[in-house]
Amino acid sequence: PGDMWKTGGAATWLGGTYDPDTDSIFFGTGNPAPWNSHLRPGDNLFSASRLAIDPEDGSIKWHFQTTPNDGWDYDGVNELISFDYEEDGKTVKAAATADRNGFFYVLNREDGKFIRGFPFVDKVTWATGLNDDGSPIFNTENGRPGNPADADGEKGETVVAFPAFLGGKNWQPMAYSQDTGLFYIPSNEWSMDIWNEPVSYKKGAAYLGAGFTIKPANDDFIGVLRAVDPKTGEEVWRYNNPAPLWGGAMATAGNLVFTGTPEGFLKAFDARTGEELYKFNTGTGVVGTPVTWEMDGEQYVSISTGWGGAVPLWGGEVAKVVKDFNQGGTVWTFKLPSDRVASN
């Protein structure tokens, strides 16, 4: 309402990708501001959305909004990965994204139409499911933080929301294997107590209008590396990690999936079964994403390490799990020994 669009947020704070098949640039947008959603009724376009942008003139070809009228800080910036699959004898040009809000979405990347969606985390409370067009079915009982205007005090009603505002998945990129047809999602299981507060815009200051505390959803693990079938929603395998997973994943043609952990390990899993095949202790927490590269006919894997980022800053009770992890800052490179390389 009014001039609130001028301070409405929705920054594109994660890198986009180019899709040559559709000649489109895919970008995601962040949450609207302030967090207090009662101050900004409506869908709040184009916040918490995936956009297909024409690279010639910057116009929006299509958009898909994952969390209309977002009241939980469920940014829509997470990567949109292009992939093709066969269905009824036809090739579907699709794109997939695992959202902060806990849902996995498969879209037609030619027109942005919703194909299917499903939760990829163990518990989602802000919505009870998705409509046929992919829009959320909001939980109207206790899903959205209360309006401070309806309360006697300074705070609106507190709700417990799954996932926490740091997301079922955050910035850390998932990976896709053309061989297995599966996506590999570094995800986290946590909840938050969240409430709304009165707020006024002040240039340069945080524009929240909300308070929150984050809590682990389980006693023995927070992070989960998941292998998910985008055609069925089936979780094919999972690896539970004690601390949150905050680094990206990489899938290789050799049917390996690499990722790092805050405990400092670079790990490799069998892409089909999830069996842990390799681990190396780098000595400092991993937030980076593994990359693979080739030189002089030999293949390497590299990872940058060094713990930090949003989890120790905003993690609430989760911060207790990671408070003693080493920070540091190192680049590690690995090469498969020549006697271990399989012959063609």
DSSP assignment of 84-123: EEEETTEEEEEEEEE-TTSEEEEEETTT--EEEEEE-SS-
* 2: its two tokens: 């009014």
Question: What integer pLDDT is reported at residue 193 of this predicted model?
Answer: 98
- pTM score over 0.75: yes
Residues 6+ apart with CB under 8 A from 182: 176, 227, 228, 229, 230, 236, 271
Domain boundaries, the chain: 4-340
Please state the separation of Cα 231 from the chain's center in Å: 19
Mean pLDDT of 185-201: 96
pLDDT in tens, 301-322: 999 999 988 898 888 899 889 9
> Is residue 211 left, alpha or beta, with left meaning phi > 0 and alpha meaning psi from -120 to 50?
beta
Question: What integer pLDDT is reported at residue 338 of this predicted model?
Answer: 72
Residue owning tokens 């395998």: 237
Catalytic residue (one of 19, 70, 73, 75): 73
Asked if residue 76 lies in contact with residue 68, where contact means CB atoms within 8 angstroms, the answer is no
Local confidence band at 4 (pLDDT 50, 70, 90 cut-offs) = confident
Local confidence band at 340 (pLDDT 50, 70, 90 cut-offs) = low
Please state the separation of Cα 112 from the chain's center in Å: 19
Local confidence band at 153 (pLDDT 50, 70, 90 cut-offs) = confident
Question: Looking at the predicted structure, is the pLDDT value of residue 218 above 80?
Answer: yes
- Average pLDDT score over the chain: 95
Question: Looking at the predicted structure, is the pLDDT value of residue 42 above 60?
Answer: yes
Selected from 2.140.10.10, 3.40.50.150, 3.40.50.300, 3.30.1300.10, the CATH number assigned to the domain covering 4-340 reads 2.140.10.10
Please, what sign has the CA dihedral across residues 129, 4, 53, 27?
A: negative
Local confidence band at 342 (pLDDT 50, 70, 90 cut-offs) = low
73 is catalytic: yes
Pairs from 238-243 (Cβ < 8 Å, separation ≥ 24): 238/274, 239/269, 239/274, 239/276, 242/321, 243/321, 243/322, 243/325
Question: What integer pLDDT is reported at residue 1 of this predicted model?
Answer: 76
Distance CA 335, CA 321 (A): 32
